[in-house]
Amino acid sequence: MVIFKSLTAEDAEQYRTLRIEALTNNPEAYASDLETEKHRTMDQIRKHLSDADVVTVGGFDGERLIAIASLHREPLPKMAHRATLTSVYVAPEYRGQRIARRIMEYVIDVVKNEGVAKLYLFVVTTNESAIRAYKKFGFKIYGEDHDAMKEDDGFVDEYLMVKYI
């Protein structure tokens, strides 16, 4: 049974291990890259996991971290109703079990009582399975960012998606 909880600085080593796995398995899905992540110090990771404007949730199978998702809240008062979902990843052997949906539901539950009413995310236009999953979860495409990220073999486009909660 997978249990979800907000990650803290104490979870930094497991978080780093899963982030590196995500960037190794699906590098095209993230703005960061493997080399950048490998060079982040544990202090930087602990600081990220302790950031008051970021909620990073982990899914645990026993003691093993098998899924992550982060929600970045807008710190300015006029924008505090908005947040951006990033870094969603589920270990390959756990896919197809609705874990990504459950972790996103958990993240939303954490922040909706704080006044967050609008969620954004950005997804590479060729990531059809993620786009389908986000649409099933209630996200809608509201725009497209051409040449959003530069990969080794050229630029990729992203869809801009939004969900009201």
- pLDDT of 163 above 90: yes
148-156: Cβ within 8 A, 24+ apart: 148/122, 148/124, 149/31, 149/124, 151/28, 156/28, 156/124, 156/125, 156/126
> What pLDDT is recorded for position 153?
87
**Domains, in order of start, for the chain:** 2-164 (3.40.630.30)
Please classify residue 51 by burial: count the beta carbons closer than 10 Å to its beta carbon, then call 0-12 exposed, 13-18 middle and 19+ buried. Answer: middle
- pLDDT of 113 above 90: no
Mean pLDDT of 102-118: 91
> What pLDDT is recorded for position 61?
97
> What pLDDT is recorded for position 111?
86
What distance in Å separates the CA atoms of residue 138 and residue 8, rounded to the nearest whole number? 28
DSSP state of 137: T
Mean pLDDT of 109-127: 92
- pLDDT of 112 above 90: no
Q: pLDDT, tens digit, for every residue of 130-160?
A: 999 999 999 999 999 999 999 888 999 999 9
> What pLDDT is recorded for position 28?
85
- Indicate the residue type of 19: R
Q: pLDDT, tens digit, for every residue of 21-75?
A: 999 998 888 999 999 999 999 999 999 999 999 999 999 999 999 999 999 999 9
Spatial CB neighbours of 1, under 8 Å, sequence gap ≥ 6: 61
**Angle CA 15–148–74, to nearest 5:** 55
